[in-house]
């Protein structure tokens, strides 16, 4: 409870609680005034800590066009974790990111203790340990599983429409080029920054990678149709709840935000589509990005006072409930992405068996079929999602038999659901290295 240090706290309240997370920082838990339960925590530096508290700021290496960077930013804000954004220049890549991570990549954080954490999923996992309040991992099994599944869907499947719209629409070519140019041609004038980006290997390799996602003449129609249906489904959900699992964001909300904001909201062509066809999705993005869109205050004694939130409009849904309005999105996950994931398990297991000397797996190990609507085509077999899937199967196996039965029952209505959580990943156990994965067991020595 409020101790003497907090008697002068910025938001004195009989119910405020202080959570000391380090000698220099105190988090003050406020009663949930915010209508969206969004900013109930406030970072208050310990009085007199001055430079010492500055040292506690995380450095967040990120880019606005990067979906995985944008997964982290609203998370940092929601948790009130003090941070400084570093938009990496070539020099920053060359002298900090490459030496410390091993390759040029964002997002990366450097902690106040000078530890480097790369990968959006790993960053949230790390920060949840360091800054547990307010938690973004649900405390109950079904909601945790759904959050993990939707995080994997956003990170590794929404990339298909995102890459398609970003790179197939000539109307916004200059905007996309400028956004890359800001960073890649920082020393030229803004108008020059959007020219001749093709000369840069980084730009061309991202641009040319989209066929591996399975985006081609045959699939484009289905990619657009499926995405627009997804927008409509998500809009229906948002008509009832502000976040995926109720009234408070979970990890999957940040993953949804990252992909949707960085690529499908900001990029002009899909941005127009989202705002015109699914304005509730667009306003979810804006809310997650800090906008306050609906009346926030009542008037009491002539003063504007933050609205209080009724108890049934706070937190995740009670009783480990999964909102019914998420069903169409979950059906899409199981219909579109899960068959690909299950085939990836087979393909990666076979690859690891056939290549016992390979430690670090290539990011793509060939092609496999996938299906969108009525169209079948081919896409790359990506190895990284195995690591994310492993987190899901490990979570399932960590549950008690009773909890597993409850998950099994919940998944009964989703074809491939039980198969997914019970998938045998012993032939393809990996650890994450950076954007690549490597064998959990070191490769057999050639000697
Ligand atoms: N799984 C990683 C993906 C990171 C990623 O792909 N970052 C992109 C920018 S959005 C990048 O820097 N790519 C460089 C590369 O993949 O070599 C994460 O969640 O952070």
Alpha helices in 157-250 (DSSP H): 159-168, 173-184, 190-193, 201-207, 220-238
pLDDT value at residue 10: 25
| DSSP three-state, residue 22 | strand
pLDDT at 42 > cutoff 80: no
Among the three residues 271, 292, 313, which one is the final residue of a domain in this structure?
A: 292
pLDDT value at residue 26: 35
- What band does 206 get if pLDDT is binned at 50, 70 and 90? confident
Q: Could you report the per-residue pLDDT of 435-447, keeping only the tens digit for each?
A: 999 999 766 544 4
Measured in angstroms, how far is the CA atom of residue 66 from the centroid of ligand 1? Answer: 8
Note whether residue 227 is domain-resident: yes
> 179 CB less than 6 Å from ligand 1?
no
pLDDT value at residue 441: 78
Considering only 154-163, 185-194, 330-339, 362-371, which range has the smallest mean pLDDT?
185-194
CB 116 within 8 A of CB 97: no
Mean pLDDT computed over 127-135: 97
pLDDT value at residue 140: 98
Q: Could you report the per-residue pLDDT of 242-289, keeping only the tens digit for each?
A: 999 999 999 999 999 999 999 999 999 999 999 999 999 999 999 999
Q: Which of 93, 391, 435 to mutate to test the pocket of ligand 1 (most atoms within 8 A of CB)?
A: 435
The CB density around residue 27, as the number of other CB atoms within 10 Å, is 22
> 61 CB less than 6 Å from ligand 1?
no
Residues 356 and 410 in one domain: yes
Note whether residue 446 is domain-resident: no
Measured in angstroms, how far is the CA atom of residue 147 from the centroid of ligand 1? Answer: 21
Residues 49 and 65 in one domain: no
Measured in angstroms, how far is the CA atom of residue 373 from the centroid of ligand 1? Answer: 28
**DSSP per-residue string spanning 293-358:** -S--EEEETTEEEEPPPPGGGSSBPGGGPPPGGGHHHHHHIIIIIHHHHHHHHHHHHHHHHH-TT-
**DSSP per-residue string spanning 64-117:** TT-HHHHHHHHHHHHTT--EEEE---HHHIIIIIHHHHSS--S-EEE-TT--EE
Note whether residue 304 is domain-resident: no
pLDDT value at residue 44: 39
| DSSP three-state, residue 438 | strand
pLDDT at 215 > cutoff 70: yes
pLDDT at 308 > cutoff 90: yes
Residues 278 and 154 in one domain: yes
> 119 CB less than 6 Å from ligand 1?
yes
CB 172 within 8 A of CB 268: yes
- What band does 194 get if pLDDT is binned at 50, 70 and 90? confident
Q: Which of 92, 105, 158 to mutate to test the pocket of ligand 1 (most atoms within 8 A of CB)?
A: 105
pLDDT value at residue 442: 67
Residues 155 and 261 in one domain: yes
Q: Give the number of the atom of ligand 1 that is nearest the alpha carbon of residue 118.
A: 20
The CB density around residue 259, as the number of other CB atoms within 10 Å, is 23
pLDDT at 106 > cutoff 60: yes
Q: Which of 103, 106, 252 to mutate to test the pocket of ligand 1 (most atoms within 8 A of CB)?
A: 106
pLDDT at 1 > cutoff 60: no
> 105 CB less than 6 Å from ligand 1?
yes
Note whether residue 420 is domain-resident: yes
pLDDT at 210 > cutoff 90: no
> 106 CB less than 6 Å from ligand 1?
yes
Residues 161 and 219 in one domain: yes
Note whether residue 389 is domain-resident: yes
> 66 CB less than 6 Å from ligand 1?
yes
pLDDT value at residue 2: 32
Q: Could you report the per-residue pLDDT of 82-104, keeping only the tens digit for each?
A: 999 999 999 999 999 999 999 99
> 67 CB less than 6 Å from ligand 1?
yes
Averaged confidence pLDDT in the chain: 88
Among the three residues 103, 130, 157, which one is the final residue of a domain in this structure?
A: 130
Residue nearest to atom 20 of ligand 1 (CA): 119
Q: Give the number of the atom of ligand 1 that is nearest the alpha carbon of residue 121.
A: 19
Mean pLDDT computed over 5-16: 28
């790359």: which residue's tokens? 380
pLDDT value at residue 55: 53
Measured in angstroms, how far is the CA atom of residue 105 from the centroid of ligand 1? Answer: 5
pLDDT at 35 > cutoff 50: no
pLDDT value at residue 301: 98
Helix (H) or strand (E) holding 259: helix 251-259
Measured in angstroms, how far is the CA atom of residue 32 from the centroid of ligand 1? Answer: 35
Among the three residues 54, 69, 89, which one is the final residue of a domain in this structure?
A: 54
pLDDT > 90: percent of the chain: 79
Residues 151 and 239 in one domain: yes
CA atoms within 13 A on the CB side of 358: 17
pTM (predicted TM-score): 0.88
Residues 243 and 361 in one domain: no
Q: Could you report the per-residue pLDDT of 46-68, keeping only the tens digit for each?
A: 444 444 444 589 999 999 999 99
pLDDT value at residue 28: 35
| DSSP three-state, residue 31 | coil
Note whether residue 191 is domain-resident: yes
pLDDT value at residue 11: 26
The span from the CA of 443 to the CA of 348, in Å, is 14
Token pair in block for residue 226: 């499926």
pLDDT value at residue 24: 37
pLDDT value at residue 56: 85
Give which of 80, 85, 70, 123 is closest to 285, Cα–Cα: 70
CB 121 within 8 A of CB 68: no
pLDDT value at residue 45: 43
Note whether residue 305 is domain-resident: no
Residues 157 and 243 in one domain: yes
Residues 28 and 159 in one domain: no
Q: Which of 61, 62, 68 to mutate to test the pocket of ligand 1 (most atoms within 8 A of CB)?
A: 68
Considering only 140-144, 200-204, 259-263, 342-346, which range has the smallest mean pLDDT?
200-204
CB 143 within 8 A of CB 93: no
CA atoms within 13 A on the CB side of 3: 8
Note whether residue 300 is domain-resident: no
The span from the CA of 49 to the CA of 100, in Å, is 30
The span from the CA of 258 to the CA of 353, in Å, is 35
Count: domains in the chain: 4
pLDDT value at residue 16: 34
């Amino acid at each position: 409870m409020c101790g003497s240090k907090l008697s002068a706290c910025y938001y004195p309240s009989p119910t405020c609680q202080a959570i000391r997370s380090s000698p220099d920082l105190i988090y003050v838990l406020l009663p949930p005034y915010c209508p969206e339960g969004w900013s109930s925590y406030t970072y208050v530096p310990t009085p007199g800590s001055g430079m010492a508290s500055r040292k506690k700021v995380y450095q967040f290496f990120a880019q606005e066009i990067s979906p995985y960077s944008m997964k982290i930013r609203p998370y940092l804000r929601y948790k009130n974790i003090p941070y400084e954004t570093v938009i990496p220049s070539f020099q920053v890549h060359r002298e900090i990111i490459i030496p410390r991570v091993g390759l040029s990549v964002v997002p990366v954080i450097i902690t106040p203790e000078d530890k480097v954490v790369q990968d959006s999923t790993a960053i949230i996992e790390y920060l949840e340990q360091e800054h547990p309040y307010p938690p973004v991992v649900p405390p109950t099994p079904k909601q945790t599983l759904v959050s993990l599944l939707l995080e994997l869907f956003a990170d590794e499947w929404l990339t298909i429409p995102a890459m398609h719209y970003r790179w197939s629409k000539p109307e916004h070519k200059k905007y996309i080029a400028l956004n890359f140019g800001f960073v890649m041609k920082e020393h030229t004038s803004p108008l020059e920054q959007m020219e001749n980006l093709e000369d840069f290997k980084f730009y061309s390799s991202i641009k040319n990678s989209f066929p591996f996602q399975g985006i081609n003449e045959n699939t484009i129609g289905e990619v657009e149709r499926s995405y627009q249906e997804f927008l409509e489904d998500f809009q229906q959900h948002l008509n009832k709840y502000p976040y995926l699992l109720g009234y408070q964001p979970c990890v999957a909300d940040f993953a949804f935000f990252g992909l949707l904001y960085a690529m499908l909201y900001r990029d002009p062509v899909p941005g127009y589509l989202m705002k015109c066809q699914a304005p509730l999705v667009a306003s979810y993005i804006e809310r997650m990005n800090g906008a306050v869109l609906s009346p926030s205050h009542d008037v009491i004694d002539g003063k504007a006072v933050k609205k209080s939130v009724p108890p049934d409009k706070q937190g995740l849904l009670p009783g480990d409930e999964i909102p019914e309005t998420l069903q169409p999105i979950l059906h899409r996950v199981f219909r579109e992405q899960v068959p690909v994931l299950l085939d990836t398990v087979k393909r990666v297991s076979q690859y690891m068996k056939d290549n016992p000397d390979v430690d670090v797996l290539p990011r793509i190990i060939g092609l496999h079929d996938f299906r969108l609507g009525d169209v079948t085509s081919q896409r790359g077999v990506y190895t990284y999602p195995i690591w994310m899937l492993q987190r899901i199967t490990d979570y399932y196996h960590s549950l008690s038999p009773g909890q597993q039965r409850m998950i099994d029952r919940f998944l009964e209505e989703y074809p491939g659901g039980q198969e997914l959580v019970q998938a045998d990943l012993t032939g393809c156990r990996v650890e994450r290295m950076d954007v690549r994965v490597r064998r959990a067991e070191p490769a057999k020595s050639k000697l």
